[in-house]
Structure 1
């Protein structure tokens, strides 16, 4: 979250009574529009910071508008999402640095005894990636549906047959050895066995996304002009409100 506040007291002393009565409305409007300027600046900067950011990531923040009784506009990262992938959670390491949190898919694999504590999913040669370079959700869903049907062995297979008739997924659990294969999730296509997801150490990120700095610079640059425009608007519409 980033709060935008302002002190217009020096300017207020130069205004007449009618103008002063419009100050709360004008200030709230100016703060909100300045926060929106910061939000737009973030959207402009994201493609140069992240490699092919998804539309979901591009919509990662929202503006909480100021009101006459609460003269604070705020730019928030979304902390809730329909798919459970709140941007406040997965973008935080890029903003402040630090380790990546566990994803829902990793929690499922860990609960099934396939992913060892301290290990995280890494795309393998057979991993299908989407247009943004992320793990394809369709393939991941197939793998996880198999995990839920585990029979207690070191391998698991997808129920039924897919578009490729001989497609099978299986996993090598931690502490086991099967034909010299390391612990990972594999896909068997014909006679070939290719890793879908490897198990690696926890990814750590450097702070590359200066969210607060981007918002602050854009909002502060817009604030004075936005206040002047908001005050003119407030005076022009005073009799209609």
Structure 2
């Protein structure tokens, strides 16, 4: 995912520094840029909440800051590597990321966690359960479905033979689907730009005051 470089037109700030020791200018600049970067991260976190239903803490905390310093007056906000991989299509468009998976994991008859997702490690734990297998099954209507299946227990088969409803068939726990284009858009750049326009002057003013207060 492309990052946001938070720079500044330093001319207004430099004019404001008349009478201030020159060595404080880089310090004030870095203060303002890093404060703005923190604000952008907070805005992106809100954008995650606005875009996705019940996002996980891992996704909410997707963004990192490369801080500005006195010698390098640039603060950068970007998504962390793992989150960037699956968030990028929501920013620039395209198909949902598969990562290392063979297909999208579409839960069917299986319990989900509080975020509406498969619990971490769920697929791996299912592989070791008796009666569970991964593969392709041809349904009665001739459709081939690839996924995680559970065979009925012997008791269920006996009940099914006496008239139980569909208890003798396989249960599809998780279906493997082809990736699809994202339906939502995550306004990574728009949210950041609006915040910077609204708050840059205030943050540079605060940085200026702090620089004056600490000048010797």
TM-score by length of 1: 0.73
For residues 12-63 of structure 1, give each alpha carbon's deviation from its aligned partner in whole angstroms, at most 9, with x where no partner exists.
2353242543211101110110111111112223222100010000000011
Residue of structure 2 in register with 1:230 after alignment:
207
Asked if the contact 1:3/1:73 (under 8 Å) is kept, the reply is yes
CA distance in 2, matches of 1:230, 1:31: 9
Q: In the alignment, which of 60, 63, 66 is matched to residue 65 of structure 2? A: 63
CA distance in 1, matches of 2:99, 2:151: 25
Pick closer, same or farther for the CA change 1:221–1:135 going to 2, 3 Å.
same
Pick closer, same or farther for the CA change 1:137–1:13 going to 2, 3 Å.
closer
TM-score by length of 2: 0.81
Deviation of residue 177 (structure 1)?
4.4
SS in structure 2 at match of 1:137: coil
Asked if the contact 2:4/2:76 (under 8 Å) is kept, the reply is yes
Asked if the contact 1:60/1:78 (under 8 Å) is kept, the reply is yes
Deviation of residue 88 (structure 1)?
0.6
Asked if the contact 2:85/2:99 (under 8 Å) is kept, the reply is no
When the two chains are superposed, the root-mean-square deviation of aligned CA atoms in Å is 2.3
SS in structure 2 at match of 1:228: helix
SS in structure 2 at match of 1:204: coil
Q: In the alignment, which of 90, 104, 107 is matched to residue 86 of structure 2? A: 90
Asked if the contact 1:35/1:215 (under 8 Å) is kept, the reply is no
Give the total of aligned pairs: 198
For residues 145-176 of structure 1, give each alpha carbon's deviation from its aligned partner in whole angstroms, at most 9, with x where no partner exists.
x3xxxxxxxxxxx36xxxxxxx5212333xx6
